[in-house]
């Protein structure tokens, strides 16, 4: 029973890692790529780590893994959000610097 | 169970190499940073699976420190990209 749960969770995590990597390779833009990377960071890592917790049982090692799990769940979406925000600020100041005109104004 | 863990290690390594393509080629700095961030997350999972495969529990502490340092470096480089003032980086 434990082996079946571990296998399902581990293959689910590997599936989300594969899909996220495919999105990072194939998507055309920075923001769509960051969207795909956030899927990879949250769902893939959480499923893989919870499968390891189920495999280990409840002791000190699995408590440390749960600590990593909670930290990854808080930290990685924050990092992705900050990257997207920084890139948006850079592109906005790029347009202001070069005085790009909108298509309707020409 | 050992065969399953070995297969997942090999699969994660292959996806890390595919991510490395975007980290090398990526047109802007944010593309590279996103790819490196995902590689860091995959490395954390890789270290934990290796620790289960070798029965070495102190690798879990290594994974904790790796997660902290990866988060810090991502935030610092994201701040640098935001403050670059519209230069093409």
Find where tokens 């065969």 sit: B3
Domain assignment of residue B87, yes or no: no
Instruction: Name which residue leads in pLDDT, B26 or A43.
Output: A43
Domain assignment of residue B27, yes or no: yes
* DSSP H or E run through B62: helix B59-82
Tens of pLDDT, residues A4-37: 999 999 999 999 999 999 999 998 888 899 889 8
Is the per-residue pLDDT at B86 higher than 70?
Answer: no
Tens of pLDDT, residues A29-86: 888 998 898 888 888 889 999 999 998 888 998 899 999 999 999 999 999 999 988 8
Residues 36-65 of B with CB under 8 A from A: 37-38, 41-42, 44-45, 48-49, 52, 57, 60-61, 63-64
Q: How far is CA A40 from the centre of its chain?
A: 4
In this prediction, residue A94 carries a pLDDT of 76
Write the ipTM.
Answer: 0.87
For an interface test with B, which of A18, A31, A32, A68 has the most B Cβ atoms less than 10 Å from its Cβ?
A: A68
Domain assignment of residue B89, yes or no: no
Total domain count for chain B? 1
Range of the domain at B73: 2-82
- The first and second tokens of residue B84, run together, are 């670059």
Contact A45 B44 (CB under 8 A): yes
Domain assignment of residue B23, yes or no: yes
Q: How far is CA B4 from the centre of its chain?
A: 22
In this prediction, residue A8 carries a pLDDT of 93
């Amino acid at each position: 029973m434990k082996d079946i749960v571990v296998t399902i969770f581990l293959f689910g995590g590997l599936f989300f890692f594969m899909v996220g990597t495919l999105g990072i390779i194939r998507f055309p833009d920075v923001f769509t790529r960051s969207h795909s990377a956030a899927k990879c960071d949250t769902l893939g890592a959480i499923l893989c780590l919870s499968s390891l917790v189920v495999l280990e049982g409840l002791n000190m090692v699995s408590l440390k893994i749960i600590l990593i799990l909670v930290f990854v769940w808080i930290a990685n979406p924050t990092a992705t959000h900050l990257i997207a925000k920084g890139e948006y600020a850079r592109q906005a100041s790029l347009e202001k610097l070069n005085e790009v005109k909108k298509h309707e104004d020409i | 169970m050992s065969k399953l863990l070995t297969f997942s290690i090999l699969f994660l390594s292959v996806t890390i190499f595919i991510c490395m393509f975007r980290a090398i080629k990526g047109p802007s700095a944010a593309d590279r940073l996103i790819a490196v961030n995902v590689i860091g997350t995959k490395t954390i999972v890789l270290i934990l699976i290796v620790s289960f495969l070798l029965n070495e529990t102190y690798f879990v502490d290594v994974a904790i420190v790796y997660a902290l340092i990866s988060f810090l470096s991502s935030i610092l480089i994201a701040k640098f990209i935001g403050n670059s003032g519209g230069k093409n980086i």
